[in-house]
Structure 1
Amino acid sequence: MTFFVTGTDTDCGKTLISSALLTAAKGETLGFKPIASGCATTESGLRNSDALALMAASTIKLPYEDINPFAFEPAIAPHIAAAEKGVELLPNRITAQLKMAEYVGADFCVIEGAGGWRLPLGQGHFLSEVVQSMQLPVILVIGMKLGCLNHALLTAEAIKADGLNIIGWVANQVDPEMANQAENLDFLKQNITAPFIGYVPYLAEPSAANAAEYLDLSVLG
């Protein structure tokens, strides 16, 4: 089964949760990060820490370029970085790259988005169009901090308006000082009509293994 992991915004913990999902899953697992900006220049080429984390958590090992086909060095919006390099981030090009997931025999596959749900690709296109074309079930990561309720509900509404199904959601505590955390989490449980995969508290030493302890993948069916 292949899932698309999106989040309420940048730095909500998509990579941590995606890696934790891969760690908690049974069988052969594989994670993709099709678009990434903020990549480091290495002897092997551009490398993104999020993509590397997904590779480390996956049991199926593919070349880096297959996991992260669109990599950009500047830590800016991907569509701007792509335009500066003369690269067209068209939905059909991205989808073509991700079709490889059908041939590697993964039992559990996650495709991690970049930024939030409506990530611009340029030329009037958005990354959400890729998810629509592939009709992927969506896992929503909510970064628990002040303002997350509005972000979460609007993101959930947009996903459903695009005709897609939120198969589960995760609350990830990004702000350890968030006031009334329990009340905010309770509000989300009452207002997001999708299975609750788990609440990951603020981790002093965040890792896929640590975060996986708080996830219940059985709700994914």
Structure 2
Amino acid sequence: MNCFVTGTDTGVGKTLISCALLHVFATKGLRVAGMKPVATGCDGDGNNQDAQQLQNASNVQMTTDQVNPYRFRDAIAPHIAARNGGVCIDFNRILTSYNELATRADVVVVEGVGGFKVPLNASQDIADLAKQLDLPVVLVVGIRLGCINHALLTASAIELCGLKCAGWVANILDAGMPALLDNIDALQQRLPAPMLGVVPWQLQPDARAVALNLQSGWMAMH
């Protein structure tokens, strides 16, 4: 049940959905661990809010370096942030951390950064990382204008990598979007994976509440 969570863009709710999935698995009595291999936009102490949320939603002991091996202060594309910091993102380091978590947890949920094709170094991107981890992918679709195109392109990229899209989540970012339900219906008809749930717009997103939206969809697949 380990999975890699990606999104149609940055800011579409990958962390929210990742934490919600961790809560779903934890309610089944499983040991769960969240991982954010690369994060940008860290505070002055080198802490990243997304990684901290994943760690808080986990129920196994793990270090910050295991949860978030690479973290950068600048909130910019990770390969640029790494270059500015004199660092090259090495997949071996990420895989080592993942394997350490996988030995302690029944389920590891790995959250990407940005979209599915965001570069991580001079020759590798998020898609390459997901492929090396060899995990089924959960696609978070931010429901707003343009979401159909972004979702279908991302789903095609996942398929081209030889990875399985285990399911997708409709996360409503614009509650006033015209033809909102029609857009979700169009995605259901076209995406080659089951919809795990629809997450309503929330002023203050709550991963535990979202877990209730996803529980039946995920468990129906297993």
* TM-score, structure 1 as length reference: 0.94
Return 171-180 or 90-99, whichever deviates more. 90-99
Deviation by residue 1:25-58 (Cα, 9 ceiling, x = unmatched):
121111000100000123xxx1000001111111
The answer to whether the aligner puts 1:187 opposite 2:186 as a matched pair is yes
Q: Give 3-state SS (helix, strand or coil) of 1:204's partner.
A: coil
Contact kept in structure 1, 2:66 and 2:101, CA below 8 Å? no
What is the aligned-residue RMSD (CA, Å)?
Answer: 1.2
Q: Give 3-state SS (helix, strand or coil) of 1:125's partner.
A: coil
Q: Give 3-state SS (helix, strand or coil) of 2:23's partner.
A: helix
Q: Give 3-state SS (helix, strand or coil) of 1:11's partner.
A: coil
| Identical pairs, percent | 44
Deviation at 1:185, TM superposition (A): 0.4
Contact kept in structure 2, 1:91 and 1:126, CA below 8 Å? no
Contact kept in structure 2, 1:4 and 1:139, CA below 8 Å? yes
Structure 2 residue aligned with 1:88: 88
Q: Give 3-state SS (helix, strand or coil) of 1:41's partner.
A: coil
Contact kept in structure 2, 1:195 and 1:219, CA below 8 Å? no
Structure 1 residue aligned with 2:36: 33
Contact kept in structure 2, 1:5 and 1:111, CA below 8 Å? yes
Q: Give 3-state SS (helix, strand or coil) of 1:194's partner.
A: coil
Q: Give 3-state SS (helix, strand or coil) of 2:55's partner.
A: helix
Q: Give 3-state SS (helix, strand or coil) of 2:213's partner.
A: coil
Contact kept in structure 2, 1:37 and 1:81, CA below 8 Å? yes
Structure 2 residue aligned with 1:2: 2
Structure 2 residue aligned with 1:121: 120
Structure 2 residue aligned with 1:59: 59
- Output the CA distance in 1 between the equivalents of 2:221 and 2:91: 27
Structure 1 residue aligned with 2:13: 13
Contact kept in structure 1, 2:9 and 2:114, CA below 8 Å? yes
Residue type of the alignment partner of 1:103: T
Residue type of the alignment partner of 1:93: R
- Output the CA distance in 1 between the equivalents of 2:113 and 2:129: 12
Residue type of the alignment partner of 2:4: F
The answer to whether the aligner puts 1:97 opposite 2:97 as a matched pair is yes
Structure 1 residue aligned with 2:72: 72
Which is strand-richer, 1 or 2?
1
Q: Give 3-state SS (helix, strand or coil) of 1:128's partner.
A: helix
Unaligned runs of 5+ in 1: none
Structure 1 residue aligned with 2:170: 171
The answer to whether the aligner puts 1:131 opposite 2:130 as a matched pair is yes
The answer to whether the aligner puts 1:151 opposite 2:187 as a matched pair is no
Q: Give 3-state SS (helix, strand or coil) of 1:121's partner.
A: coil
Deviation by residue 1:175-194 (Cα, 9 ceiling, x = unmatched):
12211110000001100121
Residue type of the alignment partner of 1:219: A
Q: Give 3-state SS (helix, strand or coil) of 1:120's partner.
A: coil
Structure 2 residue aligned with 1:219: 220
Contact kept in structure 2, 1:31 and 1:110, CA below 8 Å? yes
- Output the CA distance in 1 between the equivalents of 2:96 and 2:66: 11
- Output the CA distance in 2 between the equivalents of 1:128 and 1:90: 14
Deviation at 1:102, TM superposition (A): 2.6
Contact kept in structure 2, 1:137 and 1:167, CA below 8 Å? yes
- Output the CA distance in 2 between the equivalents of 1:68 and 1:8: 21
Deviation by residue 1:131-152 (Cα, 9 ceiling, x = unmatched):
1122111000000000000000
- Output the CA distance in 2 between the equivalents of 1:118 and 1:170: 19
Contact kept in structure 2, 1:19 and 1:57, CA below 8 Å? yes
- Output the CA distance in 2 between the equivalents of 1:178 and 1:101: 39
